[in-house]
Every structure is written in C-alpha cells, then in structure tokens.
Amino acid sequence: MKFSCGTRFAFLVLFLIAAQSVAVYAGSFHKDVQIHWGDGRGKVRDRDGKLLSLSLDKSSGSGFQSNQEFLYGKAEVQMKLVAGNSAGTVTTFYLKAPGTMWDEIDFEFLGNISGHPYTLHTNVYTQGSGDKEQQFHLWFDPTKNFHTYCITWNPQRIIFTVDGIPIREFKNSESIGVPFPKNQPMRLYASLWEAEHWATRGGLEKTDWSKAPFTAFYRNYNVEGCVWANGKSSCPANSPWFTQTLDQRGIDKMKWAQSKYMVYNYCTDTKRFPKGVPKVCT
C-alpha cells in the first residue's frame, strides 16, 4: 500500500497524539511543588526542575509540598538520603490531608549512626488514627545512589514499592469495619527534619550537629492522580494505577521483602496490643 505525503503526515500526527495520551507525565519541581518551609534550606538544583535538595541544620529543617491536591493517585520520586552519621534525622515522602481527623500515607526514613542501616518506616493514618506501622531495613545503601520510592493509592488498596518491588500492601477492609482513606484529598509532601528524641534507637542516639548541614536529594518527581479542585476530583482516563493489584509475581516479591527485611510489624506486636492485634491484621 502506498501513502501520499499528506497521508503519511496525518498518520504521524495521529501517532504523536496517541503517544502523548499514554505517556507518563514527568513532573518538574519548578512548577509542581513549592518549598514551603526552611528559609532557603530547600533548593531546586537545575534549570529543568528535575533535582531538588533539602537540608537540615540546628536551626531548621526544610520541606516541599505539591501545588495540587489528589483524591487517589500514584506518587513517586527518586531519593538519595543523608550520608554518614544521620542519627536523629528523618527524611520523608508522604501524602497527607489537612485537619485534626486527617488521612496520611507515609514513607519515613529514620537515620542512624555511621555503619548502621536506615530504617524505612511506613504507616497509614485514617481519620487521625495511625498505629499501622511496618518498618524495613533496605537491601542497599540508600545514601550511595538514587532509588525510586512509590505510593500507589486507589479505592481498593495502597501499595508501597521500592525500586519497583512491593514491600507493603494495605487493602481496603471497610467491610470488616477498618477505615480506609477515601474521602479526603491529600497533598504530596517531603521533608528533612530532626527527631532525635525518638528516631534512632528510640532516642538513644542523638544528632551530631558537628556534621550539619545534613542534605538529602530528590529527583524525577512524578505524581499522576485524580486532581481535586472545586470540591470534586478529576481522574486521568484509563490510568492503570487506579485499578492496580498485586499479581502472584508481585505478591512473591512482597513476601521476599517482608521475610528478609521487615524489622517491625504492628500485626505481630502482641505486647503493644495485648487484647488482640487490629482487625485489619486478621
């Protein structure tokens, strides 16, 4: 079959439009977020808005937040954490709603003394109540290179992944009376702050301020979600994350991560819950 120049051009236009409709949007720190605290300690490092740093010293930490709110979405970023002695520091990437009965989905990285591993702390808050912590030691040094951390939040589940490997799934269990975050739009936040009273070995290891400023790096920020505006949300058409589940391969990867690298699971903490673990665990 032969095509004229005009026909070939029309096909090219249609192809480009189709490609754009399925492409993953690459975010920019310049236009998608604002550094909302830190008095200059948070900085976008390049003209294209792909790299951002947050710093902490004895006076203050720093943080940024998304310009938009989302009711469901997929949020991911690559991070390189504070190197060396990071005891007492907390580096975060999380979703949170405002108010006193807020919803929240957390990645928090708890620093440690040199030569000891970070603890990746995950939690889900619904209506102001958390107490659903799972913690991990990672299978790599998160200070040497950038690694990808992702939260997928849809009506049926929340999936936490590290470099594409699921480490945790929090399912919608409203059918047995467990609240699930589904009504409150959330912003994406990231921060670097000091919590030496609890972050490292329950507060036994304090922050060594002679090592300040502490700096963490974020790059390739991307959020695809149902944008909340004027009291309603608007979802991208045919977004795979909106119905994403874990197939058997994903379940097997999650079991591998949890069996080898999980260091705390609220579902097995009978001392903390002497009357029985939360219903979502059963």
pTM above 0.95, yes or no: no
What local confidence, expressed as pLDDT, does residue 279 receive? 83
Tell me if 14 is assigned to some domain.
Answer: no
Tell me if 12 is assigned to some domain.
Answer: no
User: In the structure encoding, which two tokens stand for residue 100, read together?
Assistant: 């006193």
| DSSP structural state of residue 184 | S
Tell me if 273 is assigned to some domain.
Answer: yes
* Rounded Cα–Cα distance for residues 213 and 4 (Å): 63
SS3 149: strand
Catalytic member of 108, 194, 196, 224? 108
Tell me if 258 is assigned to some domain.
Answer: yes
Tell me if 11 is assigned to some domain.
Answer: no
What local confidence, expressed as pLDDT, does residue 13 receive? 34
Whether the Cβ atoms of residue 79 and residue 147 lie closer than 8 Å to each other = yes
Catalytic member of 69, 104, 196, 205? 104
Active site includes 174?
no
CATH number at residue 42: 2.60.120.200
Number of domains in the chain: 1
The H or E element spanning position 104 is: strand 104-110
* Rounded Cα–Cα distance for residues 201 and 113 (Å): 10
pLDDT tens-place values along the chain, 282 residues long = 443 444 343 333 333 333 333 334 478 999 999 999 999 999 999 999 999 999 999 999 999 999 999 999 999 999 999 999 999 999 999 999 999 999 999 999 999 999 999 999 999 999 999 999 999 999 999 999 999 999 999 999 999 999 999 999 999 999 999 999 999 999 999 999 999 999 998 998 999 999 999 999 999 999 999 999 999 999 988 899 999 999 999 999 999 999 999 999 999 999 999 998 888 885
Phi-psi region of 88 (alpha: psi -120 to 50; beta: other; left: phi over 0): left
For residue 251, give its domain range. Answer: 27-279
Tell me if 19 is assigned to some domain.
Answer: no
Tell me if 3 is assigned to some domain.
Answer: no
Tell me if 78 is assigned to some domain.
Answer: yes
